[in-house]
Amino acid sequence: MTDSILNQFRLDGQVAVVVGGNRGLGFEISKALAEAGANVAIVGRDVERNEGARNYLQRHYGQQNMWQTCDICDEHQIDRVIAIVTKQWNRIDVLVNSAGVNIRGTLESLSLEQFEQVQRVNVTGTWSMCRAVVPIMKQQGYGRIVNMASMLSIIGMPERTPYATSKGAVLQLTRALALELASHKINVNAILPGPFATEMNLPLTNDPEKYAAFVAKIPLGRWGELHELGALALYLCSPACSYVTGAAFSIDGGWTAQ
C-alpha cells in the first residue's frame, strides 16, 4: 500500500532557510513550512521582526527554529549565516528567496542608485543565496529552491522599471539554475505573485482609487490572501513536487491569463 498523498507534503526533519521570512509573503511561507514539520531558519535584516517571527513559530509549531540577521547584498554575511545553520542542523533541504524591494517611479524620476539597489537585493541577493546553499544540497543529493518572482516577470506596468527588470531576471535565473541542478535532484521553481496586501503594496492598499483599479483587473475580483500563497510554496518546497523544476507558478487571481 502506498503512502498517503498528504505525507508527500510533510517536511518533518527537514531544514528550511527562508530569506525575508519575517514579514509579508515570506512570513506566511515560514509558517506553512513550520506547520508541515520543517525546522525553519528565518533570515532578515530586522532583529525585532526576526525575533517576533521566530517566537511565533515556536509557540504555534514547536520544533526547533532560529533567526539570523543578514544583509543578502553582503556575501560574507551570507556565508556566516549558512555556516551557522549547517552547524546547527548539518543540512539544508529548502531555500526560499523571498526578500525584495520595490522602488516605484517614472524613468526620469529614478536615480541609477535606486535602480541598482533593487537589482542588488532582488537579483544579486537571490543569486548569492543560491550560490551559498547549492553546494550543501549537492552533497545531500536533494534540495528545493523557491525564488519569489512576480507577475511583473512576464507582464509590464508603468512606473515599475527597476522592479520589473529585477523580477524578469529572477525568473530567468530560476530556469537556468533548474537545468544546471536537475541531475543533482535539486528542484528550482519560481512563484509569480499578483496583488497581495503586504507592506510592499501599502502605496496601493492605502489608496482607495488605486486599490479599486487593481481589483477591476483581477478576474477573481479580489486581492490574494496570504495563506493562499503559503499553500503553493509548501507544495514547491515538499517532496510532492519531485517532477517539477524550472516552472513559473502564477498566483494572481487570473490577471496574467488575460
Q: What percent of the chain has pLDDT over 90?
A: 89
By C-alpha distance, which of 81, 82, 72 is closest to 20? 72
Note whether residue 48 is domain-resident.
yes
- Domain extent, residue 60, equals 12-251
The CATH code of the domain that includes 159 is: 3.40.50.720
* Tens digits of residue pLDDT in 167-179: 999 999 999 999 9
pLDDT band at 118 (very low <50, low <70, confident <90, very high): very high
Q: Please indicate, yes or no, if residue 258 is contained in any of the structural domains.
A: no
Domain membership of residue 1 (yes or no) is no
Q: Do 125 and 72 touch, CB atoms closer than 8 A?
A: yes
Range scoring the smallest mean pLDDT among 42-51, 139-148, 221-230: 221-230
Catalytic residue annotation: 163
CA nearest to 10, candidates 187, 236, 238, 244 = 238
Kindly state whether residue 234 falls inside one of the protein's structural domains. Answer: yes
Q: How many structural domains is the chain composed of?
A: 1
Over residues 11-20, mean pLDDT: 98
190: in domain: yes
- Choice between 207 and 180, residue whose per-residue pLDDT is larger: 180
Residue 212 has pLDDT above 90, yes or no: no
> For residue 165, is it within any domain?
yes
Return the DSSP state at 151. G
End-to-end CA distance of the chain: 43
Q: How many residues does the chain have?
A: 258
Is residue 45 one of the residues assigned to a domain? yes
- In this predicted structure, the answer to whether residue 232 has a pLDDT above a threshold of 50 is yes
Q: Is residue 256 part of a domain?
A: no
Contact call for residues 96 and 18 (beta carbons, < 8 A): yes
- If you ran DSSP here, which 8-state letter would residue 224 be given? B
